[in-house]
Amino acid sequence: MIDFKDITKTYGSGTEAYAALRGISFSINEGEFVAIMGPSGSGKSTLMHILGCLDTPTSGTYRLDGKDVSTMSDNELADVRKGKIGFVFQSFNLLPRTTVLRNVMLPLVYAGVSPRERENRATAALNAAGLTEEHFTHLSNQLSGGQIQRVAIARALVNDPALILADEPTGNLDSRTSLVVLDTLQKLNRWHGRTIVLITHEPDIAEHSERIIRLRDGSIISDEKNPAPRDAARETELYDDPA
C-alpha cells in the first residue's frame, strides 16, 4: 500500500539548507499496523506530512495504494487525502457545539453524499470505533477525552480510507484513556483489516503495533517486526483491576 523510495526533504537552500529526511525507504503492506517512532527533531513530523499528502518530498518516490503521489499538484493531493487517508490528530479537531453524529457526518457533506447515506455511514463508523447510539446525540464537549478521540477515529473512517494515519493520538490523554484509544486502533486493524500508521515519540505506545520503524536525524535506524505487541484491551482490564 505504501512504498517510499529514497525520500528526501530539504528546507532552505545553500548554506541554510536543512535535511529533515535523508533518503528514507520502506514499504507498508495492506492490513499492517506500523508505528513510526522518534524523538523531537528525528524527522517523524516531516515524514507524517509526506505520508498524509500534506507535503511533497524534495526527491524520491512515494506510491500510495499503487499511485505515485510524490509529484502531484496541490489539488491532486487534496483529492488523495479526501479519498485515501483518514487522519486522527492529537488535538481531536471536532466542532464542540455539534453532536457526535454530525461531527462524523461532516466529511460526507463536503463529498456530496445524500443525507440518508451520510447517517448510515456515520453510524457504521461510530460503531466500528466502539461508540454506541446513546452517544450519538451528545455534543462533543460533553464527552470524555477517550470518547472524543474515538469520535475522531470514526470521522477518519467515514470515507472508507485505505490508510488511517494517527499522529500522536494519545498525546493529550491519561494512561488509561490512552489504552482505550489504542484498543480501538488494534480492533480496527485486527477485526476490520484497516492499515494503520501510528506516529509517536513514546516507546510504550509504539509497542502496541506489529512493527516499529525508528527514526533519528532524518534517517531510519531500525525497522523491526514486534513479535509480541502489547494488548491494550488486556492492559485496560489490568489497569481497572490491578489485583
pLDDT digits (tens, 9 = 90+) for 116-127: 999 999 999 999
| Number of structural domains found in the chain | 1
Confidence band for 241, pLDDT divided at 50, 70 and 90? low
- pLDDT (mean) for 151-177: 91
**110 pLDDT tier (thresholds 50, 70, 90):** confident
Q: Could you tell me the pTM of the whole model?
A: 0.91
Residue 142 pLDDT: 87
> 11 lies in which domain range?
2-240
CATH of the domain at 34: 3.40.50.300
Which tops the pLDDT comparison, 22 or 236? Answer: 22
| 92 band by pLDDT with thresholds 50, 70 and 90 | confident
Residue 154 pLDDT > 90: yes
The three three-digit cell numbers of residue 172, written as one number? 493529550
Q: pLDDT, tens digit, for every residue of 32-47?
A: 999 999 998 999 999 9
Q: What is the mean pLDDT of the chain?
A: 91
Residue 18 near residue 10 (C-beta atoms within 8 A): yes
pLDDT at 243: 47
